[in-house]
Structure 1
Amino acid sequence: MTEKRVHLAKSAPSAYASLDAFAKEVGRVSSDYGIDDRLKELVQLHCSQLNGCAFCVRVHVNAAKKAGITMDELGQIATWRESGVFSERERAALELAEEFTFIHDGGVRDDVYGRVGSVLSEKEYIGVSWLAISINAFNRLAIAGRYPVPPLSDSE
């Protein structure tokens, strides 16, 4: 049986509202910097998978499908390096998402920075980076609180 945890978002609603406003601003900036909904959802979903955040994975699977990502592509995210279904730009964003998720392993390594920077524009790099920072914060909130996985969307 899972112990009941403090619900951080409900316990400090102003802090959560600030995090939510931050995420909305990041979404706006990333869109302004050339990150479309498809790429945004690939990044957020991959970070959530890597962190083991079932709550955020469910949220972003639903959003990814709305953004036009197919079931086959969803299944291939975990194997994006070997999969042939993602564009060079998408692979660069997925790799950068990994670097931000595992930032404790030495930051964004120079070889990754160079590789990703040769594919993404500076603005796209900035947009993907902020998306990864934002979703990693939400992953930590949901995982620490053991938030229950939300139901599937109505289109299931």
Structure 2
Amino acid sequence: MDKRINLGKEAPHMYDKLISLKHDMQALIKDANINEGFSHLLLLRASQINGCAFCVRLHTKDSLDAGETIERVSVLPAWRETEYFNEKERVSLELVEAICYIKDTHIPDTLYEKAKEVLTKKEILAVEWLALVINALNILAISSRLEVK
């Protein structure tokens, strides 16, 4: 199969804007005091749902490098069946998943109300922006067929 156009390399001005959004999202994560390792698990979970091999590899490594345990990384697709995640983390994972499946879920009001009970406004803001940005990055990587090394 012929290589695809690398969207980032062919339109660097657009790619730079997306990376700027990523940096702004990371600042929101930090401002909300969301643990860096867990933020990578949120990015990893969205990438798993979207089937982005490039980002799955990247965020698995980043999670581990940021101090996440292999147990939490390995059970992430089945997080609901474990006790590895606290209440805030569980709601955050659920919110990220709902955003990834927005076509089907439209982020149910019940989930949003639960998020408001468990998370601060800053945490909700950071988690939602994280989901939005990683979905865009997943689309970029998948569309360009970025090589997984």
Q: State which drifts further: 104-113 or 136-145.
A: 104-113
CA distance in 2, matches of 1:45, 1:70: 14
- Normalising by structure 2, we get a TM-score of 0.95
Cα distance, 1:3 vs. partner? 2.8
Residue 89 (structure 1) aligns with: 88
Q: CA deviation at 1:67?
A: 1.6
State the Cα deviation string for residues 77-118 of structure 1 (Å, max 9, x = none): 100111111111111110000011111124211111112222
Aligned-partner SS, 2:46: helix
In 2, the alpha carbon distance for the partners of 1:3 and 1:40 equals 35
Unaligned runs of 5+ in 2: none
Paired residues for 1:74-85 under 5 Å: 74-85=73-84
Consecutive aligned runs of 4 or more in structure 1 exceeding 2 Å deviation: none
Q: Which amino acid in the other structure matches residue 67 of structure 1?
A: A
Give the 3-state SS of the residue equivalent to 2:68 in structure 1.
coil
Structure 2 letter corresponding to 1:135: I
Give the count of matched residue pairs. 149
Question: Residue 40 of structure 2 aligns with which residue?
Answer: 41
Residue 27 of structure 2 aligns with which residue? 28
- Which residue does the alignment assign to 1:15? 14
DSSP-derived class of the 1:18 partner: helix
Q: Letter of the aligned partner of 1:114 in structure 2? A: E
| CA distance in structure 2 between the aligned counterparts of 1:46 and 1:5, rounded to whole angstroms | 25
Higher normalized helix content (fraction of residues):
2
State whether residues 38 and 63 of structure 2, in contact with CA within 8 Å, keep that contact through their aligned partners in structure 1: no
Unaligned runs of 5+ in 1: 151-156
Identity between Structure 1 and Structure 2 (%): 39
Q: State the TM-score, normalizing by the size of structure 1.
A: 0.91
Matches of 2:98 and 2:18 in 1, distance apart?
22
Give me the whole-angstrom Cα distance separating, in 2, the residues matched to 1:89 and 1:56.
24
